[in-house]
Structures are given as C-alpha cells and as structure tokens.
Structure 1
Amino acid sequence: MSNGSEEHSEEGGAWSGSAGAEAFAAVEAATDWLLGYPFVFEALSGRIGEDEVLVDYGCGPGRVADRAARVLGARVLGVDTSAEMLAMARSTAPMVAEFHLVRDGRVTGLPDGCADAVMCNHVLASLPTEEAVLGVFAEIRRLLRPGAPFVLLTSDPACTDLEYTSLRVGTAGASYGPGDEMPLRLRRTDGSWQEVLNHAWPVDRLPLLLESAGFRAVGQRRPTVDEASALADPELVERYPWTAERAAPPLVITSALAA
C-alpha cells in the first residue's frame, strides 16, 4: 500500500510513471479513510498551528495532503519521489501550498528544520531494506525543527487472516519479517481488486528504528471502528459493515518527536 508515496523501489515500481499515478488515483482506500487518515489528523491537531508548515512525505496524488490542509489549517507541502504523482497532485489538490520532488533521498528545495510537523502515510511499504527506512527517517528528521511531531501510518503485516473492506494484507497464514516482499490487494473505485507487491515492516520494529534516526517519545496506537465513528466521515462509517476492521484493526499510528 502507498499514499502514492514512495515508489516500489528507488528505480520504480507499482506506482511509478504516468500509468502508476493513474492506477493509484483509482484506489478506493476506504479502510484508510476510516481507521487511518482521520487519526493522523487527530494526532497532529493541537500540535501544529494554523499556517504552520506540515510536510506530507509521500503525498502521491495529494488527496490526503489536501484534506489535512482543510482540517488542520496548516500550510501543507507535498513531497514525493514520483514527478508524475506530483503533476497529478498539482491539478487535484488545490489546498496544498507547494510540491517538492525527492531526488537521491533528499527533498529538493526544502532547508533543514523547515517543518513544524511531518506526516508519512504508507511509505514504508515501498522500502525493501532497513537502510532505506532509516534513510527516509533521517531525511524527515532533517526537515523537522527540534521537538516537532512526526506521525507515521502503516499497515500491520501480521493482519493476514482477514479480507478488509478495501485491502487484503499479505497471504492468509503467512508471516513476514522486516523488509520481506508481501502482496497487497487493494480495492479500486470500480469494485475490482488490484494486487501490488509491498515490503513488510512489523509495527513493533518501528520504535527502535525511529529512535535510531533521532526521534524520541515514540508511541503507537491501533485505531478501532468505534473510535472512528467520532472522527471519520459519517457517510463512510455507515456505508460498510466493517466486519474485519472490527475483528482485527489493520492500521497502526506511530507518533514521535524530533530530538
């Protein structure tokens, strides 16, 4: 899964190129809009002021960045490795103030300590090695001012036994270690399913990696459907029964502060 975010590898992958950008734009992401993004916004609410700078690292086509700007009142900057994703975001995310390309692991045009907060949604699934994960965390740390919050949204690679409303994590009964290749099925807006190849990052591994990259006060939360009823779009809450999401919520919010 990706937020349109990082490509599948440094050289390209599931969402790379114009075709990849268009394919990602057709992903429904209902489970993310119920149990993911509203809780990312909640974690940032009160910790970033109006017109302060929020970087969406891995903004993809810009839907989440655009919603964050509307909900939080922040000045949102979209960042991505894909020029095609950024081109799409420029035309579909009017509330995003600026867009910046990641080149050779560094965000072009943004200085050290420029961000009051960073969010990063489903980017880790595109990264095959611990070195790559630490590289992304280090660049996010570079962007953040000291003491600023970082909020990370990931799917739990242990949640393989259920088919969720808009995704299927891995293969039923399989187990995945750090960086292992893992299939992910995503429901498209036309009701069909698309399979992409991701990388598994067990959620209990993330705090140590963040601390190694210069973060502190790391905490994790697994949002539930009951909690989402107060945050998510009421129409979305009522649209589906969310049976699997109630049984074993698949998304985890990891929050930290730049040291």
Structure 2
Amino acid sequence: MSDRSQGSAPGGGAPGGAAWSGHDGARAFAAVEGATDRLLGYPFVLRALAGRIGTGQVLVDYGCGPGRVADHAARVLGARVLGVDTSPQMLELARASAPAVAGFHLVENGRVSGLPDGCADAVMCNHVLASLPTEDALLGVFGEIRRLLRPGAPFVLLTTDPACSGTEYASVRIGEPGAAYAPGDEVTVRLLRTDGTWQEMRNHAWPVDLFPELLGRAGFRYVGRHRPTVAEALAVADPDLVAARPWTAERARPPLVVTTAVAE
C-alpha cells in the first residue's frame, strides 16, 4: 500500500492491493486515520525534500492514493506535484480531494503513463513497498522511479520497520506480538480508521537493511536512513497532533524509517 492514510501503490508501486481495490476499497483506504504516520512519517519526508526541490520543480508522489500527502507537499514545498498510482479509483478520489496537485498518472504494467524519462526533480514514495510480494517487484518499482528522475535528483522513501512487529502504536500494529518475519513474509497490519474501528490487511515484511543493495541495483546511490523520534517531531509535526496523545509506544520504539537516495 502507499501513503497509508494517503494512497496505494502498485499494491503500493503496485498501488492499492486487493484490500483497497475498487471504489469501496479506495474509500476505505481514504478513511485510515494515520496518526503515527502524521507524527513520525510524512513531516520527515517533507523535511528531507525541503531545500532539494522548490517552486516550479516537479515532485512525483509514487503511490499517492487519495492524494492528501501530495496535496500537502504541494502547499508546503511549492513544487509542481504529480500523483501516481496503479488504482484508477484512488486517482479518482485524489482528483476530487487534492486540488493543489498538478496532475495524476496511472501506473500500467509497471510504467507510469504520460511521464517521460528524467521528468522529475524528486520522487517520494510512502508505504508502497509493503504491498509488494517479491524482491523483483521492489526492483521494478525502484527501476521505474529511477526512470522518472533526472540524474542527481533525490528519492525519499518512507517505510515501516517490520522489526517493530507486534507493538501497539497509536494508529497501526504490524504483525503479531512475538512474531519474527523473514524478508517478503506475509504480515497482517492493523490500521485505525477515522471512525475508531480497525482495518486489517495483508502486507509483506521488507527489512530496511535490504534497501541499499536494491537501490544500488536500480541505479541509485544510497544516501542513508533516519528513524524519526517523538522528540524530533516536536519541531516538525503539527503541534496539535503532538499534544493530542502520549505517544507511549512511538517514544519507546519508533517504527518508521525514512530512506534517502540519489539517482545516478
């Protein structure tokens, strides 16, 4: 999946995934609450992009889903943001709810329609990889993102660390308590919805240590990774959100990782 409360990807790069397919699935995905991501994820993705992209430059949100993160990025960064997703229904929602986004493009057969090679000054990809079942699928997504980026342009990737499985966070739980997952293993993820109920879906466990090698094979230079903390969020996240909860689990074991790379 992608942009948990935001989007899907081809399953995520394959935006969507069966749990979010069709109009009903798209609406259900748009109703994910996403507090943990809004605290420790998206603000740090935008921070990683700030100063690297600005007014008039093109930022692609790969796996944009309903488009809320893409819309916010356009307003904060001043960039020309393009939303990309494999789900036509997600893109339909995004067109109706993300007015700051400059355009939307469908991923078909692993390729973004209507976007030429080297058209992007930056790409962000949020919660897409967990939807993908194999390393080849991950490489396919990384390869298509590399095609879109001009040489030297940044790629910012947001993922959940499967090593944090079983922990009850404010809006998400990955896997079962006490369980360990090998790369690519299926894992059940529970996501809090805005109505207070929980949505379960099947994802795949991809450890963050796997990404540097795959990024290198896809034509990127790995830059590094950062695991945002609640203390850091005090300076970048919505102050009302920070004050709304104790964030006990997020403080003890931050689950989100921002990986950055540069197109070679």
TM-score range, shorter chain: over 0.9
Indicate the larger mover: 128-137 or 158-167. Answer: 158-167
User: Aligned match of 1:6 in 6, 9, 13?
Assistant: 9
2: distance between equivalents of 1:122 and 1:73?
23
Match of 2:38 in 1: 33
CA contact (8 A) 2:215 2:222 kept: no
Give the TM-score normalised by structure 1: 0.98
Match of 1:77 in 2: 82
2: distance between equivalents of 1:12 and 1:191?
23
Q: Does 1:165 align with 2:170?
A: yes
- Displacement of 1:61 after TM fit? 0.1
Q: Does 1:151 align with 2:164?
A: no
Match of 2:135 in 1: 130
1:194-225: per-residue Cα shift (whole Å, max 9, x none)? Answer: 11100110011111111111100420000000
- Displacement of 1:14 after TM fit? 1.3
Identical columns (%): 72
Indicate the larger mover: 194-203 or 3-12. Answer: 3-12
CA contact (8 A) 2:164 2:174 kept: yes
CA contact (8 A) 1:7 1:14 kept: no
1: distance between equivalents of 2:97 and 2:243?
26
Secondary structure in 2 matching 1:230: helix
2: distance between equivalents of 1:104 and 1:57?
15
2: distance between equivalents of 1:20 and 1:70?
27
Indicate the larger mover: 155-164 or 8-17. Answer: 8-17
Secondary structure in 1 matching 2:189: strand
2: distance between equivalents of 1:7 and 1:150?
17
Q: Report how many aligned residue pairs link the two structures.
A: 259
Task: Give me the CA root mean square deviation.
Answer: 1.2
Secondary structure in 1 matching 2:241: helix
Q: Any stretches of 5+ residues in structure 2 without a counterpart?
A: none
AA at the equivalent of 1:243: T
Secondary structure in 1 matching 2:20: coil
Secondary structure in 1 matching 2:235: coil
CA contact (8 A) 1:169 1:184 kept: yes
AA at the equivalent of 1:30: A
Give the TM-score normalised by structure 2: 0.96
Match of 1:248 in 2: 253
Secondary structure in 2 matching 1:158: helix
1: distance between equivalents of 2:57 and 2:124?
14
User: Aligned match of 2:116 in 91, 107, 111?
Assistant: 111
CA contact (8 A) 2:9 2:85 kept: yes
Match of 2:71 in 1: 66
Match of 2:52 in 1: 47
CA contact (8 A) 1:118 1:149 kept: yes
Alignment of 1:141-220 (within 5 A): 141-220=146-225
2: distance between equivalents of 1:109 and 1:162?
41
- Displacement of 1:177 after TM fit? 1.4
Q: Any stretches of 5+ residues in structure 1 without a counterpart?
A: none
2: distance between equivalents of 1:161 and 1:88?
32
Secondary structure in 1 matching 2:163: coil
Secondary structure in 2 matching 1:229: helix
Secondary structure in 1 matching 2:236: coil
Secondary structure in 2 matching 1:41: helix
CA contact (8 A) 2:9 2:17 kept: no
Cα distance change of structure 1 residues 139 and 7 upon mapping to structure 2, 3 Å threshold:
closer
Match of 1:228 in 2: 233
2: distance between equivalents of 1:257 and 1:39?
17
- Displacement of 1:5 after TM fit? 1.8
More helix by share: 2
CA contact (8 A) 1:116 1:144 kept: yes
